[in-house]
Amino acid sequence: NAGVTQTPKFQVLKTGQSMTLQCAQDMNHEYMSWYRQDPGMGLRLIHYSVGAGITDQGEVPNGYNVSRSTTEDFPLRLLSAAPSQTSVYFCASMTGDGYTFGSGTRLTVV
Amino acid sequence: DQQVKQNSPSLSVQEGRISILNCDYTNSMFDYFLWYKKYPAEGPTFLISISSIKDKNEDGRFTVFLNKSAKHLSLHIVPSQPGDSAVYFCAASYNFGNEKLTFGTGTRLTIIP
């Protein structure tokens, strides 16, 4: 039982490049979400999903796309990376008391 | 507009003493509150929660107090241990089981041996 697995752990992108942050959970949780953590800002919700085929926007969705084709996977796509997207990204799936978070992806856009 | 605020970016406490972390919120619709602990290079881990129908919840060394009229909650850790050194985030949602959490900015707690 691995919990929530995020890949990669680190990534450097050039402005304008695209990439997908992967997230997988093996707990059969319906709810999954993506947060970004920035200094002095706490964690902010990007997108979330309440089940396969259903996604919705959070507080800071611009520049990001998501899809949920299976219960297990919830990838986050950056279509054209910008320096403002430099951040630490956390994927999470929901337990009874709250979310179980992955260990994060540190993304730098230069 | 920061709806959940942690006004102390950092806090240092002597080992064995009580640590008190504070959190204020502005949205009166928030109904469920959580505390998360985060070590460097790891994701946040759930610590303790409280529903608005309670004013206190206790789990071992950790107690969360909620004052709805003041829109204030606090996390008490007693006695504090070196392993408690971490960043603590409070979070709020509209109800238990709601998938959308609003986080505070975090407080870095350092326990001094």
Reported as a single tens digit per residue, the pLDDT across B8-19 is 999 999 999 999
Chain A environment of B34 (Cβ under 8 Å): 97-98
Bridge partners of residue A88, in order along the sequence: A37, A106
For A:40-69, CB contacts with B below 8 A are 40-45, 48, 50, 58-59
The chain B residue lying nearest A50, using CA atoms, is B99
* Residue A45 to residue B101, Cβ atoms within 8 A: yes
pLDDT of B25-63, one tens digit each? 999 999 999 999 999 999 999 999 999 999 999 999 999
The chain B residue lying nearest A93, using CA atoms, is B99
Give the CA distances from residue A71 to residues A53, B42, B112, in Å, rounded to whole numbers and listed in that order: 9, 23, 44
The chain A residue lying nearest B2, using CA atoms, is A41
Q: Which of A48, A90, A98 sits opposite B34 (nearest CB)?
A: A98
| A21 CB-near residues (< 8 Å, 6+ apart) | A6, A7, A8, A11, A34, A75, A76, A77, A78, A89, A91, A105, A107
Q: How confident is the model at residue A94 (pLDDT cuts 50, 70, 90)?
A: confident
What local confidence, expressed as pLDDT, does residue A95 receive?
72
| B18 CB-near residues (< 8 Å, 6+ apart) | B76, B77, B78, B79, B80
* Residue A102 to residue B105, Cβ atoms within 8 A: no
What local confidence, expressed as pLDDT, does residue A67 receive?
96
Does residue B104 register a pLDDT over 70? Answer: yes
For B72, counting Cβ atoms within 10 Å of its Cβ (0-12 exposed, 13-18 middle, 19+ buried), the class is: middle
Does residue A1 register a pLDDT over 60? Answer: no
pLDDT of A30-81, one tens digit each? 999 999 999 888 899 999 999 999 999 999 999 999 999 999 999 999 999 9
* Interface list for chain B against chain A, based on CB atoms closer than 8 Å: 4, 6, 34, 36, 41-46, 49, 89, 91, 97, 99-106
What local confidence, expressed as pLDDT, does residue A40 receive?
83
% chain A with pLDDT above 70: 96
